[in-house]
Amino acid sequence: MRIAVGADHAGYELKGEITSLLEELEHSYRDFGPHKKDPEDDYPDFGVPVARAVAKGEFDLGILICGNGVGMCILANKVRGIRAALCHDTFCARSSREDDDSNILCLGARVIGVELAEEIVKTWLSATFSGANRHQRRVKKVMGLEERPA
């Protein structure tokens, strides 16, 4: 699986832990940065390229990390074709893939610890969209919002 990964200054350390996990799990990934910790790193500068790369199909999935995960989730969902999910537990990670076909996982580095983050990532990566009619119908309705003016 090809995975795009990005963070801001608050998510920098957790991103390193997650990319190590991806290597252990033998997933192909690209680290969109940052490549050093700088408090001036803003989440849109790293989140937008990840979201666009996933939306274009250059990567199968994406993982974005910031302080609480909210900023990355909001910005990723602004990119057409993205269904980003903020997950702080394994239940949400699994159901976001199985029911909502999420394609970007957002994590809050200041909200969860490394061990839980790793379990969430493993759960999210191992889950797949169920394809159940009710879930297909719901995802189609959500994605249809991108086609209509607000």
Q: Which residues are catalytic?
A: 66
Instruction: With a cut of 80, say whether residue 148 has pLDDT above it.
Output: no
- 43-69 pLDDT, tens per residue? 999 999 999 999 999 999 999 999 999
Taking the C-alpha atoms of residue 21 and residue 39, their distance in angstroms, rounded to an integer, is 25
Q: What is the mean pLDDT of residues 4-20?
A: 97
What is the separation of C-alpha 70 from the centre of its chain, rounded to a whole number of angstroms?
A: 11
Share of the chain above pLDDT 90, in %: 84
Q: Which helix (H) or strand (E) holds 23?
A: helix 12-24
Q: What is the mean pLDDT of residues 127-135?
A: 90
Q: What is the mean pLDDT of residues 121-148?
A: 89
Residue type present at position 132? A
**Contact present, 63 and 5 (Cβ < 8 Å):** yes
Q: What is the mean pLDDT of residues 118-133?
A: 95
Which domains occur in the chain, in start order?
A: 2-147 (3.40.1400.10)
